[in-house]
């Protein structure tokens, strides 16, 4: 079936996109509002963009009335945020933080999540997160009703047990978003597929012929 997004509603396009581009990692973003309240919200329009400089991107939509969400407003104002990665034991708390709390209430408090100080930015990170990425705003781009924020990672926080030799990460199993409205996946079922070189490919063709 051919589906032209120009002939469908934004809601239908959202359903298609979020159910087809999967799985997506979840950025559980902490930011600070103008009054000092720590905002916490999850976003699955998120991924890594670059390693030099190390950058991640989070796309943040607007509220139903078209006004900016707290996360976007806070990041654009302060220029800082922290991406906390979501593992399965934190799923319940993440769901709490996704509710539409008013700006003067902290989702971290509502979800009974402790915060700890970051090292390079003023925004705190989640103590319970196995991985947190301290970010400074590198660039923002308006994408229709969304704000794409690109953050340069200025500090990685990785649980000691996850870090192996030569910076290899082991046994890290964040959850992923599979589709709207509430479908997720685990990342514990894995397999290896070693890369091959062009010479290996040619050798395989010769051997097969």
Helices (H), 103-164: 107-110
Burial of 167 (0-12, 13-18, 19+ CB in 10 A): exposed
pLDDT of residue 169: 94
Give the CATH number for residue 152: 2.30.110.10
Residues in the chain: 209
Kind and range of the H or E element at 34?
none
On the question of pLDDT at 177 being above 80, the answer is yes
Sign of CA dihedral 195, 200, 205, 208: negative
Domains contained in the chain, number? 1
Contact 84/39 with Cβ under 8 angstroms?
A: no
pLDDT tens for each residue of 47-101:
999 999 999 999 999 988 888 999 999 999 999 999 999 999 999 999 999 999 9
Residue 17 vs residues 1, 64, 85, 196: alpha-carbon distances, Å? 15, 19, 22, 31
Structural domain span for residue 66: 5-208
∠ CA 63-101-157, nearest 5°, is 95
């Amino acid at each position: 079936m051919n589906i032209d997004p120009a002939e469908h509603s934004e809601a239908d396009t959202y359903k298609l996109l979020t159910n087809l581009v999967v799985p997506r990692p979840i950025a559980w973003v902490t930011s600070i509002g103008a009054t000092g309240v720590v905002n916490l919200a999850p976003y699955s329009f998120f991924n890594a963009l670059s390693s030099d400089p190390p950058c991640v991107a989070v796309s943040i939509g607007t509220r139903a009335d078209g006004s900016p969400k707290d996360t976007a407003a806070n990041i654009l104002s302060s220029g800082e945020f922290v991406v906390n990665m979501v593992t399965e034991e934190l799923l319940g708390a993440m769901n709490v933080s996704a509710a539409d709390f008013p700006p003067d209430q902290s989702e971290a408090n509502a979800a009974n999540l402790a915060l700890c100080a970051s090292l390079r930015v003023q925004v705190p990170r989640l103590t319970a997160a196995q991985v947190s990425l301290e970010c400074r705003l590198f660039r923002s781009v308006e994408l229709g009703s969304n704000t794409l924020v690109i953050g340069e990672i200025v500090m990685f926080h990785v649980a000691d047990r996850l870090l192996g030799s030569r910076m290899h990460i082991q046994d890290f199993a964040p959850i992923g978003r599979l589709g709207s409205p509430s479908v997720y996946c685990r990342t514990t079922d894995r397999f290896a597929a070693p890369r091959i070189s062009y010479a290996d490919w040619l050798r395989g063709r010769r051997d097969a012929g």
